[in-house]
Structure 1
Amino acid sequence: MTDEALKSELLAVALEAARRAGALLRDGRPDDLGVAATKTSSVDVVTEMDIAAEKLITGFLAERRPDDGVLGEEGASTEGSSGVRWVVDPLDGTVNYLYGLPTWAVSIAAEYEGETLVGVVEAPLRRETYRAVRGGGAYCDGPSGTGRKLTVRPAPPLDRALIGTGFGYLAERRRKQAEIAGRLIPGFRDIRRGGSAAVDLCDVAAGRLDGYYERGLNPWDYAAGDLIAREAGALTGGRPGERPSGELVVAAPPGVFAPLQGLLDELGAWHD
């Protein structure tokens, strides 16, 4: 299979898996939805719908691409033999979903030999599907039309930049993150906390944010959104000279990225 044919197939599979999971989450949310489990702390929650959505996605992938590996937030982990690995967050923004807030998404990325080839973020309550293929640009399908090409906003002066971020679930980490946000706010237009890393990265791609940063993410939180942001013209990374990681994820247009990354490194945003 050629590189382009593989990308096309992986994109089609990712789009269908995300569409099915998004529909399940949107239409199947029970009125009495509660917490099924917790992870790193009592406020880091998993619902029965997170689990159901991951089961749907992994079952679909096993049917369509049985030789691929999978890494999922809710425990799915298979090695595979094809060189392709799916990185899946079945419900990014679980607390928003639990409370009935609209900012949540299904995030699915496909890696080949360790490089992300395809990213899809399905945001059902926005009625938007963000998608990217490495080297092929980033697009949004939604109410404003199918196949709208995404381009980052031109870099403003930092004091007019709107920056997105998120906070972890461990108390000490949240305290440090709040301190850093407090020190950043005077030098920017404002800071937003949406509650879904995948959506925040897509908002950078769509020009709805001038930048985004967060510490403590896992690969499934940012794999798809990182590719979508980059294909829309953003720069992404972690600490200076490093790739995005659990220490730090930064995404912004050229002109905002380097000063934002430098400030975050200076303030110690990469450690608790």
Structure 2
Amino acid sequence: MTADEPAALRDLALDVAREAAALVRERRVGGATVADTKSSSVDVVTEADRASEDLIRRRLLEARPDDSVVGEEGDDHSGPSGVRWVIDPIDGTVNYVYGLPEYAVSIGAEVAGATVAAVVLNAATGTEYVAARGLGSTRDGVALRVRPSPPLAQRLVLTGFGYRTDVRAGQAARVARLLPRVRDIRRMGSCALDLCHVAEGSADGYVEEGPNAWDWSAGSLVATEAGARFGLLPGGLAAELGETGRKVVIAAPADGWDDFVALLEECGFVGRNPPSEVE
């Protein structure tokens, strides 16, 4: 990869995300139509999810036909270039269905398993979070930087919940342990945007067990380029349920990472094995 390719991938992702976000907004006029469910009756897919992903895949492969593409709603496409696009056509679909303005088009470009370019575009508000590896991250063109970490008791933490009832019960128990130890907890409904909120200093940390790569690929780079650390660690709930493949996703400003992770271990979010990936 040449030195300027992350910027070129970022710019392509932004052009495509803008087009997809316009489609998503247009389809929201008059209400969103639920087309199907996935892991449970509350894990919904809309027609706009499918149309957005179809558009993103088509535009990316028109521009770069040798790339690979993986997305939430469609089949994987393999190409020989070494670049893999990881896309979520609407991250925060339930918010989209209910008209809550916290849902995003998320597009990340990976090389050798690491995200090198990213766009998370809030389709409801038009806010654009953009990053390229080594070149920083921005919100609507303005450079982002995490806020300095206050003491643990003064930190605002973002989280999310899965769709299976047993997973939700375990996550809720862990949140109940964490809540008295921090300033407060927010559940906004989009992993990608939660990571961007850490990047812009609207939150002091994020933790959730179970998000998929398309949920966090783009947002993780926005966060790390703004001075956060990001990690996929062994999940305490996964071990409890005997599901070794699921990880807990964590992001926090670098200066507050160690004590935040230690607190999450105490509250049962993180298992006791060494972390699998930390940036």
* Length-normalised TM-score, structure 1: 0.92
Match for residue 241 of structure 2? none
Dislocated runs of 4+, deviation >4 Å: none
Query: Is 1:94 paired with 2:58?
Result: no
Query: Is 1:152 paired with 2:146?
Result: yes
Residue 110 of structure 1: how far off its partner (Å): 0.3
Match for residue 256 of structure 1? 256
Match for residue 232 of structure 1? 226
CA–CA separation in structure 2 for the residues paired with 1:35 and 1:174: 22
CA–CA separation in structure 1 for the residues paired with 2:53 and 2:69: 11
* Length-normalised TM-score, structure 2: 0.90
Query: Is 1:63 paired with 2:62?
Result: yes
> Structure 1 residues 246, 135: closer, same or farther in 2, change over 3 A?
farther
SS in 1 for 2:79: coil
Q: Is the 8 A contact 1:250 1:257 kept in 2?
A: no
Residue 116 of structure 1: how far off its partner (Å): 1.1
Q: Is the 8 A contact 2:31 2:97 kept in 1?
A: no
What are the ranges of 5 or more consecutive residues in structure 2 without an aligned counterpart? 235-244, 272-279
Query: Is 1:199 paired with 2:193?
Result: yes
CA–CA separation in structure 2 for the residues paired with 1:193 and 1:33: 22
Match for residue 46 of structure 2? 47
- List aligned pairs for 1:155-174, cutoff 5 A: 155-174=149-168
CA–CA separation in structure 1 for the residues paired with 2:160 and 2:232: 15
What are the ranges of 5 or more consecutive residues in structure 1 without an aligned counterpart? 142-146
Match for residue 11 of structure 1? 10
> Structure 1 residues 114, 67: closer, same or farther in 2, change over 3 A?
same
Any idea what the Cα deviations from partners look like across 1:8-32, whole Å, max 9, x if unmatched? 2211110011100011111222424
Query: Is 1:123 paired with 2:139?
Result: no
SS in 1 for 2:3: helix
Residue 268 of structure 1: how far off its partner (Å): 2.7
CA RMSD in angstroms, aligned pairs only: 1.5
Query: Is 1:218 paired with 2:212?
Result: yes
SS in 1 for 2:263: helix
Q: Is the 8 A contact 1:239 1:261 kept in 2?
A: no
More moved, 117-126 vs 40-49: 117-126
Q: Which amino acid aligns with 1:22?
A: A
Match for residue 85 of structure 1? 84
CA–CA separation in structure 2 for the residues paired with 1:135 and 1:5: 10
CA–CA separation in structure 1 for the residues paired with 2:233 and 2:149: 20
Match for residue 184 of structure 1? 178
